[in-house]
Amino acid sequence: MEKKKSMKKSTIYSARRIFRISQDIPLIGHVAFGLIDRGTNLVQVRPTSLCPLSCIFCSVDAGPKSRYRATEYLVDLDYLVDALKELVRYKGIRDAQAHIDAVGDPLTYPKIVELIQHIREIEGIGVISLETHGALLSEEILDEMDAAGLSRLNLSIDTMNPDLAKFLAGADWYDLTKVLELAAYVAENLKMDLLIAPVWIPGLNDKDMLKIIEFAKKIGAGKRWPPLGIQKYEVHKYGRKPKGVKPISWYEFYRTLRVWEKKYGVKLVLNPKDFGIYKVKSLPLVFKKGQKVSAKIVGPGWHKGEWLAVAKGRVIAVLGTAGDPPIGSQVKVEILRNKHNIYVGVLG
């Protein structure tokens, strides 16, 4: 009941359509949905782009207060699971990891427990992790995800001050006290591990970083993996930029983390090995930068002025468009980006 109440409060997306991704649209190629393979044993699984919060530092402009988004996506469950199964089989490893994340919050996915259950049944996957800000969490959903086989919850807690939490989340209904109670519930009662992952925003929550470290240690987070994953605030093209906030340098970021490591006796400077992540073959690129391809328009784009197109089994975000997409038509697209099989092009 708690989850339904939160969803009712927060999921207001009147200015954006929700587009369902099914088998006629590939799950490789877009950053907002499907699967992302960055050449390691970890695959990012993105079933939804929705988010109930409008965090003032959000790097992807998520939530009800988004200024740039035109469309939100939900992926068909069986289609997503089958595609993940094929990708793990292609990699040919026995210790693959599925990391359920989003350009939003994975808990907005209506079948999140079923997704975890089905991923757990895939041969070759050993670890399933999920990241969330916790706004839609309850003991009931945590119990269900734990029973379904979730290995680790990456919980973003950015402050220990309830009022500041509302401000940072861009939502006056966000209940930090409840989220902290649920974090302790996970650490003390469930099989899944807990990693607390705050974003350090200079000038806004500097002092909170130390309080969050103390909280993570107090409740016993990080039994199998590190208990904390402090993230550095960065400025992104479509991200939100809090007034007066300037990112610190990576040098200063890591220097400070090392100071805190010594003070609290906890690992804060992390690397992929801490999570059992290593390089392994990735899917081959199908398009080169600058290449012009004929692509079929299949749906609305994520941002304003974009369409979705498909070519050679990949989905492409097509920029430089206007109006509703001419579904089914063929267009010429020049590829601007192809890193990690995420394709962005422009009408050409």
Residues 94-115: what's their mean pLDDT? 98
In this prediction the pTM is 0.94
User: Is residue 7 scored above 60 in pLDDT?
Assistant: no
- 161 within some domain: yes
- 70 within some domain: yes
List pLDDT tens digits, range 152-177: 999 999 999 999 999 999 999 999 99
What CA–CA distance (Å, rounded) separates 336 from 338?
7
Reported confidence tier of residue 281, pLDDT bands at 50, 70, 90 = very high
CATH number for 105: 3.20.20.70
SS3 182: helix
Give residue 15's pLDDT.
63
- 286 within some domain: no
Residues in the chain: 348
Task: Tokens for 206, please give them.
Answer: 């500097």
What CA–CA distance (Å, rounded) separates 237 from 240?
9
- 282 within some domain: no
Give residue 238's pLDDT.
85
User: Of 275, 310, 338, which residue constitutes the final position of a domain?
Assistant: 275
Tell me: do 207 and 85 sit in the same domain.
yes
Tell me: do 222 and 148 sit in the same domain.
yes
Residues 198-207: what's their mean pLDDT? 97
Tell me: do 92 and 227 sit in the same domain.
yes
Give residue 2's pLDDT.
37
User: Of 244, 275, 306, which residue constitutes the final position of a domain?
Assistant: 275
Domain that holds residue 329: 292-347
Structural domain total, the chain: 2
Tell me: do 271 and 299 sit in the same domain.
no
List pLDDT tens digits, range 11-47: 444 468 999 999 999 999 999 999 999 999 999 999 9
Cα torsion at 322, 327, 332, 335 (round to 10°)? 80
Choose among 224, 212, 225: nearest CA to 180: 212
User: Is residue 6 scored above 50 in pLDDT?
Assistant: no
Maximum pairwise Cα distance, the chain: 61
- 283 within some domain: no
Give residue 176's pLDDT.
98
SS3 301: coil
User: Of 275, 306, 322, which residue constitutes the final position of a domain?
Assistant: 275
Tell me: do 257 and 342 sit in the same domain.
no
Tell me: do 120 and 49 sit in the same domain.
yes
How is the chain split among helix, strand and coil, in percent rounded to 5?
A: 30, 25, 45
CATH number for 329: 2.40.50.140
Tell me: do 251 and 325 sit in the same domain.
no
Residues 126-134: what's their mean pLDDT? 98
- 281 within some domain: no
User: Cα 28 to the chain's mean position, in Å?
Assistant: 16
User: Cα 147 to the chain's mean position, in Å?
Assistant: 22
Tell me: do 230 and 262 sit in the same domain.
yes
Tell me: do 24 and 87 sit in the same domain.
yes
Give residue 313's pLDDT.
97
- 40 within some domain: yes
Q: How many other C-beta atoms lie within 10 A of the C-beta of residue 324? A: 8
- 190 within some domain: yes
Which of these ranges, 3-7, 47-51, 95-99, 113-117, has the smallest mean pLDDT? 3-7
Residues 201-215: what's their mean pLDDT? 97
Choose among 79, 77, 100, 96: nearest CA to 88: 96
Choose among 283, 287, 267, 268: nearest CA to 332: 287
Give residue 260's pLDDT.
98
Tell me: do 121 and 57 sit in the same domain.
yes
List pLDDT tens digits, range 249-273: 999 999 999 999 999 999 999 999 9
Contact yes or no for 129/155 (Cβ under 8 A): no
Q: What's at 5, amino acid-wise?
A: K
Tell me: do 341 and 198 sit in the same domain.
no
Tell me: do 132 and 41 sit in the same domain.
yes
Give residue 43's pLDDT.
98
If one compares 15 and 96, the residue with the highest pLDDT of the two is 96
